[in-house]
Amino acid sequence: MTLDDVDEYLRTLDGVRARRADGRRAWYVDGLLVARADAAGTLLVRLGGRDREQLVSAHPDTFGVPPRWEAHAKLQADLTGDEDAIRRSLRLAWERQRSVRAGT
């Protein structure tokens, strides 16, 4: 998966807007971060809690939580990993951010 693939997928989700954050590609919904490019070949996904733990457990070759992110609702996805799992993480992050904005 490439960042262009990520962009193509995220733009299918209602309200997602692409922009640059600190020179990196990033995607937001209602002004809240969904995902952004991280280190080469990786993607930061704004997702925590049970969803993050389940994805890391089910797909350890695709997802991880670097020590600096352990206390944050963030997940690192290896773009060479399972594409369906990455799309699932992005959809979960999108759903979470929309619910935050809606106050639910």
State residue 70's pLDDT score. Answer: 84
Number of H helices, E strands in the chain: 3, 6
Is 3-81 CATH 3.90.1150.30? yes
> Contact at 8 Å (CB) between 46 and 93?
yes
Model pTM?
Answer: 0.93
- Identify the band that residue 22 occupies on the pLDDT scale cut at 50, 70 and 90: confident
Domain residue ranges in the chain: 3-81
Predicted confidence (pLDDT) per residue in 58-92, tens digit: 999 999 998 888 888 999 999 999 999 999 999 99
Mean pLDDT of 49-59: 96
> Contact at 8 Å (CB) between 34 and 97?
yes
Q: How far is residue 10 CA from its own chain's centroid?
A: 10
State residue 102's pLDDT score. Answer: 67
Give me 77's structure tokens. Answer: 């996805």
Alpha-carbon span 59 to 51, nearest angstrom: 12
